[in-house]
Amino acid sequence: MLEVSIDGTRRRFPEGTTILAAARELGIEIPTLCHDERLVPNAACRMCVVEVKGWSRFATACSTQLADGMEIQTASPAVEDARRTMLRLLAAGYPAEAVAAAPEKPFHRLLRSYGADTANDGARPCFTDTQHPYLRVDMAQCIACTRCIRICDEVQGQFVWRAWGRGPETRVLPHGAASLAESECVSCGACADTCPTGAIEDRSVIERGAPETWTRTTCPYCGTGCEMLVGTRRDRIVQVKPVLDAPVSKGHLCVKGRYAFDFVHAPDRATEPMIRESGTWRKVSWPEVVEFVAKRLADIVAKHGADSIGVLGSARGTNEENYLAQKFARVVLGTNNVDCCARVCHAPTAAGMKMTLGTGAATNCFDDIERAATFLICGSNPTENHPIVGARIKQAVLRGAKLIVIDPREIELARYADVHLQLRPGTNVALLNALAHVIIDESLADETALRERVRDFDAFREFVAAWTPERAAAICGVEAAKIREAARLYAQSDAAMCFHGLGTTEHVQGTEGVVCLVNLALLTGNFGRPGTGVNPLRGQNNVQGAAHMGCEPGNLTGFVPIEQGKDVFESVWQAPLPHSRGLNLMEMIDAAGERKLKALWAIGYDVSFTNPNAAVTKAAIEQVDLVIVQDLFFNELAREFGHVFLPACSSFEKDGTFMNSERRVQRVRRAVEPVGQSRADWEIICDVAKAMGHGAQFDFASAEAIWEEVRRVWKAGAGISYARIETHGLQWPCPREDHPGTPILHTESFPIGKTAPLKCIEFHATTEVANEEFPFLLTTGRTLYQFNAGTMTMRTANAQLRGTDTLDIAPADAQRMALRDGQRVRVRSRHGAAVLPVRADSRLKQGELFATFHATDVSLNQLTGPHRDTHVQTPEYKVVAVTLDKI
Residues of this chain that bind another protein (CB under 8 A): 33, 41-47, 49, 57-58, 60, 63, 78, 81-82, 84-86, 89-90, 92, 143-144, 146, 153-154, 157, 159, 162-170, 173, 175-176, 398-400, 416
Nearer to another protein, 10 or 57 (CB): 57
Determine if the peptide bond prior to 733 is cis (ω within 30°).
yes
Q: Which residues pair with 629 in a beta bridge?
A: 602, 645
Minimum Å gap between C-beta 84 and another protein is 8
- In the Cβ-directed half-sphere of 9, how many Cα atoms lie within 13 Å? 13
Return d(Cα 840, Cα 853) in angstroms, integer.
17
Return d(Cα 874, Cα 802) in angstroms, integer.
28
Minimum Å gap between C-beta 294 and another protein is 60
How far, rounded to the nearest angstrom, does the alpha carbon of residue 42 sit from its chain's CA centroid? 31
Minimum Å gap between C-beta 333 and another protein is 56
Nearer to another protein, 195 or 312 (CB): 195
- DSSP letter, residue 789: T
Return d(Cα 310, Cα 238) in angstroms, integer.
38
Of how many residues is the chain composed?
887
Minimum Å gap between C-beta 146 and another protein is 8
Helical H segments across 539-593, by residue range: 543-548, 562-573, 585-593
Nearer to another protein, 416 or 853 (CB): 416
Nearer to another protein, 58 or 259 (CB): 58
Q: Write a three-state SS string for 54-85.
A: CCCCCEECCCCECCCCCEEECCCHHHHHHHHH
Residue 271's contacts (CB-CB under 8 Å, 6 or more residues apart) are 647, 675, 676, 677, 678
CA distances from 175 to 164, 180, 185, 465 (A): 10, 9, 9, 50
Phi, psi of 516 (to 5 degrees): -65, -35
Minimum Å gap between C-beta 41 and another protein is 7
| 3-state DSSP assignment of residue 370 | helix
Query: Helices 703-713 and 562-573: crossing angle, nearest 10°?
Result: 130
Minimum Å gap between C-beta 48 and another protein is 10
Nearer to another protein, 159 or 214 (CB): 159
Q: Which residues of 178-196 are buried (b: 16+ CB within 10 A; e: fewer)?
A: eebbebebbbbbbbbbbbb
Do 276 and 243 meet the contact criterion of CB atoms below 8 Å apart?
Answer: no
Return d(Cα 837, Cα 825) in angstroms, integer.
6
Residue 741's contacts (CB-CB under 8 Å, 6 or more residues apart) are 664, 719, 720, 730, 731, 732, 733, 734
Radius of gyration from C-alpha coordinates of the chain? 28
Nearer to another protein, 59 or 603 (CB): 59
Do 536 and 373 meet the contact criterion of CB atoms below 8 Å apart?
Answer: no
Nearer to another protein, 165 or 695 (CB): 165
Nearer to another protein, 159 or 281 (CB): 159
Nearer to another protein, 51 or 227 (CB): 51
Do 119 and 93 meet the contact criterion of CB atoms below 8 Å apart?
Answer: yes
Nearer to another protein, 50 or 851 (CB): 50
Minimum Å gap between C-beta 109 and another protein is 17
- DSSP letters spanning 402-430: EEEEE-SS--GGGGG-SEEE-PPTT-HHH
Do 541 and 319 meet the contact criterion of CB atoms below 8 Å apart?
Answer: no
Minimum Å gap between C-beta 844 and another protein is 24
Minimum Å gap between C-beta 180 and another protein is 16
Minimum Å gap between C-beta 144 and another protein is 6
- DSSP letter, residue 251: T
Nearer to another protein, 48 or 680 (CB): 48
Element (H, E) at 185: none
Nearer to another protein, 397 or 546 (CB): 397
Among the listed residues 439, 500, 436, the one whose alpha carbon sits nearest the alpha carbon of residue 472: 436
Minimum Å gap between C-beta 157 and another protein is 8
Return d(Cα 505, Cα 349) in angstroms, integer.
7
Minimum Å gap between C-beta 34 and another protein is 9
Minimum Å gap between C-beta 222 and another protein is 25
Return d(Cα 709, Cα 704) in angstroms, integer.
9
Minimum Å gap between C-beta 17 and another protein is 15
CA distances from 562 to 330, 337, 545, 550, 582 (A): 11, 13, 17, 10, 10
Nearer to another protein, 115 or 740 (CB): 115
* Angle CA 154–158–161, to nearest 5: 85
Minimum Å gap between C-beta 153 and another protein is 7
Nearer to another protein, 70 or 689 (CB): 70
Phi, psi of 653 (to 5 degrees): -110, 10
Return d(Cα 604, Cα 596) in angstroms, integer.
23
Nearer to another protein, 94 or 698 (CB): 94
Return d(Cα 542, Cα 315) in angstroms, integer.
5
Pairing of strands 128-129, 135-138: antiparallel
Nearer to another protein, 49 or 454 (CB): 49
Minimum Å gap between C-beta 417 and another protein is 13
Minimum Å gap between C-beta 751 and another protein is 38
Minimum Å gap between C-beta 85 and another protein is 4
Nearer to another protein, 49 or 311 (CB): 49
Nearer to another protein, 150 or 236 (CB): 150
